[in-house]
Chains A and B, each alone.
Chain A
Amino acid sequence: MGELKVDKHVQYILSVEKKKDSFEALVMEHLRMNGAYWGLTTLDLLQNVASVDQEEVISWLMSCWDRESGGFAGAIGLDPHLLYTLSAVQILALLNRLDVLDIEMISEYVAGLQNEDGSFSGDMWGEIDTRFSYCAICCLSILRRMDKINLGKAVNYILSCKNLDGGFGATPGGESHAGQIFCCVGALSITGSLHHVDRDLLGWWLCERQCTDGGLNGRPEKLADVCYSWWVLSSLIMIDRVHWIDKSKLTEYILNCQDSENGGISDRPDNAVDVFHTYFGVAGLSLMEYPGLKPIDPAYALPIDVVNRIFFSKF
C-alpha cells in the first residue's frame, strides 16, 4: 500500500497553480476560488502552506470581491455566490488575514440571502439548497456575526430536509446524500443543534456507505469515491460514531488512489488526479489521525489550530 507521498502532493498542488492558461484551467475558471481553498488547505494539512506567496494569494482573492454586493466571486469579474464567499473567508482564516475583510459588508451579504422559511439562496437568483445553509452558517460563524440571521428558522429549515433514514437531502424530501449530510450536520454542529440528529440511525446509514473495497460511497448503489472519505467521516465524527467503521481499510483505499509518481489523489484507483480529490483524500486521512498531518476540524473544514485561533483570539 505504501505511505502518503507528502512531497509529491505538495509539488502537484503547486504545479496546478502554475497551469492557469491550459484549456482545463479556463473551463474551470469560474470556481477558482474553491480550487484555491482546496489547494491551500491541503498544503496546510501537509504542513507546507509556507511554500506559496501569501501576499499574492490575498491580492488575487481581494480582486474577486464584489464591492457592490459584498460577496466573493469564483474568479475576477464574475458574479458573487455563497459558495465562493465561504471559500474566500476560509482561505483568509487559514492565512490569518481576516483583517483585510470588510466583515460588516460580507456578513450583510450572507444574511441578505436568508429566505422567509429560514433557507438560504446561493445568490440573488434564488436557487435554494442545504449546501447554501452550511456556507452561510459556517461563514458567519468564522466572522463571528451569527446574530445577523434568524438562527432558529435556519435550523428548522435544515431539519425539514431530514429523511426517514436519518440522512438529509438538498431540499425537503430530497434523497439522502453524504455531501448534503455533511452540510446539514456541519451547520447543526456549528449552531449547537446536534441534539436534533438521530445519531444511531444516521450513523448506521453512514456506515452502510463503506464498500467492500474499503472506500466510501455517497449513496446506496454507487461506487466508492475518495471525496466521500471527507463527507462521511466528518459527519461520523460530528455525531460521535466514527468508531463504527473500518478505518484501516479506508486508509488503505485512499492511499491506493495516489499517483505515486506525479502526486495528487484521484476518485478511485488508477483514475486521473485533481485538486478536489487530493484535498478530500488528505483531509480524510487527517480525520483518521494519519501521522505527519495537521488535524482538521470536521465542521469548519479547516485545520484545528486555525479554528482555535479564530475563536480564542480577539479581533
Chain B
Amino acid sequence: MEARRSYKSLINVPKRRNSLNATNFESQFPGTDIMKHSRSLLILSPDFGSVWNSRKMVLSREPNLALLIDELNLSMLILSYSPKSEQSWSHRRWVIKKIAEKFHDLYDIIGKESEFVKRIAEKSKMNYRAWDHRCWLILYMNQGQMLDELDKSRNWSELHVADNCCYHYRRRLMLNLLEDSSLKDDEQKSSFYMCHSVDMLKEELKWNLHLIKTYMGREALWIHRRHLSYYLISRITNPIEISSPCKVQLEMISALHCFLGEEMELVHTCLNIPADEFDDARAQAQHAATYLLWISKKIVLSPEYRFQEKLMEVGDLKTILMNTSPEKSLTWERLLDQSPAESEKNHLNFQTSTSMRDLKG
C-alpha cells in the first residue's frame, strides 16, 4: 500500500518535466529533484520510459562522467532484478553513447559491460534484450577485444549448450573478425587473414562437434553448426579467396570434399543411434536430418564439386525427414515437393547469398 501511495504521488513527475524548457523551470523543480524522484519511481516500475526520459533530459544539460557512471549503476541495479526491462537496456545504450561522444575511451566500460550481460544471462536464460545489448557492444570493440571475448565466452557456452543466444553472440564476433580481415587490401596480409579465418572456423567446428557428441539432441548446437558450415564452405569456395597465393584451387576442392565427407559421416552416425529412454537419440536424429536439409538447400555449388552425389550417399532426404520428424510432415512435403520451375527459382535465391557481404547480415 505504501508503494502504491508513493507511486501515485510521484506519477506527476513526468508531467512537470514537460515544462523543462521554460526559463524559470530550474527554480520550480531542480534537476536534482527529478533525479531523486525518478529513481524511486523506476525502482518500482522499470519500464516506465517517460521517467527514464526525464533523467536523460537532466543529464543532457550537463553531461558529467561521474553522473553518467552513476546512471550505469542505477540501471545495473534495476536490471539485476528486472533483467528483461527493455527501457533500462535502452537507457544504458543512450548513456554509453553519451560517454563515447564526450569522453572517447570506452575500452574498460565495454569490457565491464560484456561481463555484466554475462552475469544477467546466468539468471535470465536466453534474454533477447540482454544478448542484443551484448552484440551491440561489438561495434565499440577492437580486434583484440573481440578475440578476447570469443575466448572468454567459450567456457560459458560449454556450460549453456541449450542457449542459442550465446552461440549467436560468438557468430557475431567471428563474422566481425572475418569482415575486418576481408577489408585488408594488402595481398599478403589478406592471404594471412584468409588462412587464419579458415582456421578459426575449423577450430569452432571441431569444438562444436565435440559438444554435439557430448550433449545429444541440442538444437542450439546444431544451429550453430549450420551457420559455421555455411561460412566455411562459402569462404573456401569464394573465387577471390581461391586466387590468393595462400591456397591453390585443387587443395580447396580436396578440402571441401574432405569437409563434406566428415559432415555426411556425422549425419549418418546421428541418424543411427539406438533409441534411449530420454528421447535424446530421437532429438539428435531430428537435428541431424534438418542439418542435412540445410546443407542441401542452402549451399549450392557448381557440378564440379559433385556435391549432390555426396548428399545422396546418406539416403533420400525426404524419407529421412519423414522418419525423424513425422509431426512436421506437412512442412517436409511442401518444402521438398515443388514444381521444378519453383525449385529452380529457390535455388537461385539461395545461391545469391553466398558472398561474405551477405554473411554479415
Contacts and interface: CB of A to CB of B under 8 A. Distances in A.
Contact of A164 (B44, B218, B227, B328): B227
B53 A125 contact: yes
A23 B349 CA distance: 52
A219 B127 CA distance: 11
Nearest to A176: B168
A221 B219 contact: yes
B229 to A, nearest CB: 11
A281 interface: no
Interface of B: 3-4, 7-8, 11-12, 14-15, 18, 44-45, 47-50, 53, 56, 90, 93-94, 97, 126, 128, 131-132, 135-136, 162-165, 168, 172, 175, 218-220, 223, 226-227, 230, 290, 293, 297-298, 327-328, 330-331, 334-335, 346, 349-350, 353, 358-361
A79 B223 contact: no
Interface stretch (A36-44, A46-54, A203-211, A251-259): A203-211
A204 B226 CA distance: 14
B44 A27 contact: yes
A127 B90 contact: yes
B53 A26 contact: no
Contact of B49 (A30, A177, A245): A30
A160 B97 CA distance: 22
A160 B331 CA distance: 27
A173 B361 contact: yes
Contacts of B358: 164
A203 B335 contact: yes
Nearest to B54: A79
A220 interface: yes
Contacts of B132: 169-171, 174-175
Contacts of B297: 200-201, 204
Interface of A: 23, 26-27, 29-31, 73-74, 77-79, 81, 123, 125-127, 160-165, 169-175, 177, 198, 200-201, 203-204, 207-208, 210, 212, 219-222, 241, 243-246
30 contacts: A26-B8, A26-B45, A27-B7, A30-B45, A30-B47, A73-B50, A74-B49, A77-B12, A78-B49, A123-B53, A126-B94, A126-B97, A127-B93, A164-B230, A164-B361, A165-B223, A165-B227, A175-B131, A198-B346, A201-B297, A203-B331, A204-B331, A207-B328, A207-B331, A219-B164, A220-B164, A220-B220, A221-B126, A244-B335, A246-B327
A60 to B, nearest CB: 16
B164 A245 contact: no
Contact of B165 (A79, A81, A175, A204): A175
A172 B361 contact: yes
Contacts of A27: 7, 44-45
B50 A30 contact: yes
Contact of A221 (B131, B162, B172): B162
B50 A78 contact: yes
Given A125-B94, A175-B132, 18 more contacts: A74-B49, A77-B18, A79-B50, A161-B361, A163-B361, A164-B230, A164-B361, A165-B227, A173-B135, A175-B164, A175-B165, A175-B168, A200-B349, A219-B126, A219-B164, A221-B219, A222-B126, A245-B331
Contacts of A169: 132
A173 to B, nearest CB: 6
Contacts of B353: 164
Given A212-B327, A221-B220, A246-B327, A177 B128 contact: yes
A77 B53 CA distance: 13
A246 B14 contact: no
B306 to A, nearest CB: 24
Contacts of A241: 334
B70 to A, nearest CB: 19
Contact of B14 (A78, A126, A200, A244): A78
- Top 10 closest A-B pairs, CB basis? A77-B15, A79-B50, A78-B50, A207-B331, A27-B45, A175-B168, A127-B90, A244-B331, A220-B164, A220-B219
Nearest to A124: B53
Contacts of B163: 221
A170 B133 CA distance: 11
A279 B20 CA distance: 38
Nearest to A241: B334
A175 B334 contact: no
Nearest to B97: A126
B128 A79 contact: no
A245 B330 CA distance: 6
